[in-house]
């Protein structure tokens, strides 16, 4: 059995970059070092157990704009003393679906939808009567939500999908299988393709990545992706061409688990030099345009987030996210939305960087009164 083949790169639209000219005057004084180049125009969410979280075993959700120098911040109106995360951003960055084990009064829901621009929470109707739903994923515009739920058998997991605009379940008649664990869903931009991990009869190994056509109610072939080893945690690009995933295939991995990207057009894996290490890389998510890969790594001893440029084939410098003593993991990435509900509004002062960003239309300070009222409406934290 030969390992999956690789291709050297991907074809993406050309990107334009504005370069700032740096001039110096005087030869006696050394020139000031150039400012750090901004990161890509992406928004990142991730979980962490760092303070002010009261317990190392509890995780909170953070948000970071990669093109901003501001560090990642706790997402307003999302975090409690319960666990929050994992979460999935819509590709346009306007919506965030997240798991929580808090108790919503009058509801069995464990997934909620967060409006990144306003800070408002919403629980879709079908979720209010389904307990223990997990691993939410949104389509590009946030209209469709996929997740996993307890199936008929004691160890079964089923994939379900909601049309959030209609507030109704979407029929997935052929996707789930009795006695199988179907989990970790990911949607293409239009919600017509759904990738997920499964140990059912369609799997070649213990766990494999499967691709399902929602309108066709049928499975789509992915030659050279799955092996007799474990392929898990798929993530689809907006057009459905690329599938990021993690694998335990020893013919490919440097360590126990590596991240890979499969190109459906060439039916082969992309070459990702420098992305993987001798330790575990896992939980990959691909940007909507297929250029960037975010994932978790244990290469620094704990768990950290990494960003990889698939086109340029190198790691992207990531500041203001990883802590040397706490876990940062379970990333999700999206485009940067026009407005972000920002925690600066929860205090009496607004930081200069947040104020500048807000003035530029990037981050909207949250009104303290509205936020306080919202937190009160949710009831006391537990």
Q: How confident is the model at residue 161 (pLDDT cuts 50, 70, 90)?
A: very high
What is the spatial distance between Cα 270 and Cα 263, in angstroms, rounded to a whole number?
Answer: 7
* pLDDT per position as a tens digit, 292-320: 999 999 998 789 999 999 999 999 999 99
DSSP-derived pairing of the beta strands 84-89 and 95-100: antiparallel
Residue 257 lies in a domain: no
Q: How far apart are the first and last CA of the chain?
A: 53
Does 113 fall in a domain?
yes
pLDDT of residue 12: 35
Flag whether 13 is in a domain.
no
Region for 10 from its dihedrals, namely left if φ exceeds 0, alpha if ψ lies in -120 to 50, beta otherwise: beta
Which residue in the block uniquely carries the two structure tokens 């599938």? Answer: 243
Structure-token pair, residue 151: 């199936």
pLDDT exceeds 80 at position 353: no
CATH number of the domain bearing residue 219: 2.120.10
Question: pLDDT-derived band of residue 279, with 50, 70 and 90 as boundaries?
Answer: very high
Q: How far apart (Å, rounded) are the C-alpha atoms in residues 372 and 76?
A: 10
Q: Average pLDDT, whole number, for the chain?
A: 84
- The residue with greater pLDDT, 281 or 11, is 281
In a domain, 12, yes or no: no
In a domain? residue 110: yes
Residue 352: phi, psi to the nearest 5?
-60, -40
In this model, does residue 96 exceed pLDDT 50?
yes
44 within 8 A of 321, measured Cβ to Cβ: yes
Q: Does residue 365 or residue 81 have the better pLDDT?
A: 81
CA distances from 226 to 136, 230, 261, 281, 359 (A): 23, 8, 12, 18, 48
Number of domains in the chain: 1
Structure confidence by residue, pLDDT tens digits, 183-230: 999 999 999 999 999 999 999 888 999 999 999 999 999 999 999 999
CA gyration radius, the chain? 21
- What is the structure's pLDDT at 363? 43
Is residue 153 over pLDDT 60?
A: yes
pLDDT digits (tens, 9 = 90+) for 44-76: 999 999 988 777 789 999 999 999 999 999 999
Residue 9 has pLDDT above 60, yes or no: no
Query: Would residue 284 count as lying in a domain?
Result: no
What pLDDT, on a 0 to 100 scale, did the predictor assign at position 7?
Answer: 62
Q: What is the pLDDT of residue 5?
A: 64
In a domain, 373, yes or no: yes
CA distance 147 to 103: 19
173: which residues sit within 8 A by CB, 6+ positions away? 217
Residues spanned by the domain of 120? 38-235+321-377
Sign of CA pseudo-dihedral 268, 272, 273, 277: negative
pTM of the model: 0.83
């Amino acid at each position: 059995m030969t390992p999956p083949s690789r291709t050297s790169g991907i074809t993406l639209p050309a990107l334009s970059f504005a370069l700032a000219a740096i001039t110096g005057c005087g030869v006696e004084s050394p020139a000031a070092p150039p400012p750090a180049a901004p990161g890509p125009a992406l928004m990142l969410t991730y979980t962490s157990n760092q303070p002010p979280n009261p317990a190392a075993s509890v995780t909170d959700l953070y948000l970071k704009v990669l093109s901003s120098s501001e560090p990642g911040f706790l997402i307003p109106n999302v975090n409690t003393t319960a666990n929050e995360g994992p979460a999935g951003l819509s590709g346009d960055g306007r919506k965030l679906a997240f798991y929580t084990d808090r108790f919503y009064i009058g509801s069995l829901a464990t997934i909620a939808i967060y409006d990144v621009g306003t800070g408002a929470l919403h629980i879709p109707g079908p979720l209010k009567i389904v307990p223990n739903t997990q691993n939410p994923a949104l389509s590009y515009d946030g209209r469709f939500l996929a997740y996993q739920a307890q199936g008929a058998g004691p160890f079964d997991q089923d994939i379900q999908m909601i049309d959030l605009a209609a507030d109704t379940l979407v029929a997935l008649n052929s996707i789930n299988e009795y006695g199988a664990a179907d989990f970790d869903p990911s949607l293409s931009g239009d919600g017509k393709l759904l990738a997920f991990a499964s140990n059912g009869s369609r799997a070649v190994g213990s766990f494999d990545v499967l691709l399902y056509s929602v309108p066709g109610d049928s499975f789509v072939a992915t030659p050279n992706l799955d092996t007799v080893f474990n392929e898990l945690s798929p993530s689809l690009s907006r057009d459905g061409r690329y599938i990021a995933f993690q694998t335990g295939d020893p013919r490919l991995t440097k360590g126990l688990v590596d991240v890979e990207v499969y190109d459906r057009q060439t039916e082969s894996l992309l070459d990702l030099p420098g992305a993987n290490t001798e330790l575990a890389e896992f939980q990959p998510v691909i940007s909507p345009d297929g250029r960037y890969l975010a994932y978790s790594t244990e290469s620094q001893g704990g768990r950290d987030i990494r960003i990889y440029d698939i086109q340029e084939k190198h790691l992207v410098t990531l500041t203001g996210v990883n802590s040397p003593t706490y876990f940062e993991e379970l990333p999700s990435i999206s485009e940067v939305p026009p407005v972000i509900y920002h925690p600066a509004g929860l205090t009496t002062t607004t930081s200069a960087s947040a104020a500048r960003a807000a003035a530029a239309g990037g981050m909207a300070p949250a009104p303290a009164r509205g936020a306080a009222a919202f937190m009160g409406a949710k009831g006391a934290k537990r």
